[in-house]
């Protein structure tokens, strides 16, 4: 069963909708807080959404969202939404630090020559060797723990943020944290290959 986003963070609110939309209904551009899916949401009539606000978009009764209009790509975000994206990603990572620390503890090899951790920008063979050795001794407990135990390690928070931004822009072959871009074929959504963590 395909897992869906339960909550989203508002990146931009357009009270008049898009200029090229004949309906001109209010809409919010948002990012899911589980798979970082970019979505356009239609609020319930009369409601105004605030940038940075977390809203429920799951299958149960929704307080503020009438329906999910569609999934969108990075290039369809407004300039305001693109500017807000790193802030929203930081909020998600801060709230789910344990999940991302688990990625450092559990990520495995993709091929004989390529490890999943090496997909993070700034992680080379030396960092990889050190991370693997340290997690064998004792699993990492936090981002601070990773930074303290792996010499000259770039900020784990920044590594993950940069990787998520790259994945959202669709400029990578592998997807660690985001749902891969979709291609519609014969009325179905088909996802490009790529396994999410760990």
- pTM of the prediction? 0.86
Residues in the chain with pLDDT < 70?
1-2, 182-198
pLDDT at residue 188, rounded to an integer: 36
What local confidence, expressed as pLDDT, does residue 12 receive? 98
Report the pLDDT value the prediction gives residue 171, as an integer from 0 to 100: 87
The string of DSSP codes covering 118-150 is GGSTT--HHHHHHHHHHHHHS---SHHHHHHHS
Query: Domains in the chain, start-ordered, CATH in brackets?
Result: 7-85 (2.40.50.140), 96-180 (1.10.150.280)
3-class SS at 189? strand
pLDDT of residue 66: 96
pLDDT in tens, 111-151: 989 999 999 998 999 999 999 999 999 999 999 999 999 98
C-alpha–C-alpha distance, residues 4 and 75, integer Å: 22
Residue-level pLDDT at 19: 80
């Amino acid at each position: 069963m395909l897992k869906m986003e339960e909550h989203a963070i508002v990146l931009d609110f357009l009270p008049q909708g898009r200029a090229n939309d004949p309906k001109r209904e209010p809409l919010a551009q948002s990012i899911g807080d589980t798979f970082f899916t970019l979505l356009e949401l239609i609020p319930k009539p009369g409601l105004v959404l605030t940038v940075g606000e977390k809203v429920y978009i799951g299958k149960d009764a929704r307080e503020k969202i009438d329906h999910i209009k569609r999934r969108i790509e990075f290039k369809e975000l407004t300039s305001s939404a693109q500017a807000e994206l790193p802030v929203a990603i930081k909020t998600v990572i801060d709230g789910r630090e344990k999940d991302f620390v688990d990625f450092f503890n559990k990520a495995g090899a993709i091929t004989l020559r390529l490890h999943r951790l090496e997909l993070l920008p700034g992680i080379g063979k030396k960092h990889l060797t050190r991370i693997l050795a340290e997690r064998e001794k004792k699993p990492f407990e936090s981002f601070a723990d990773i930074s303290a135990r792996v010499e000259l390690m770039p900020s784990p928070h920044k590594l993950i943020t940069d990787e998520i931004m790259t994945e959202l822009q669709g400029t990578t072959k592998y997807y660690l944290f985001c749902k891969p871009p979709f291609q519609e074929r014969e009325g179905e959504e088909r996802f490009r290959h790529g396994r999410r963590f760990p």
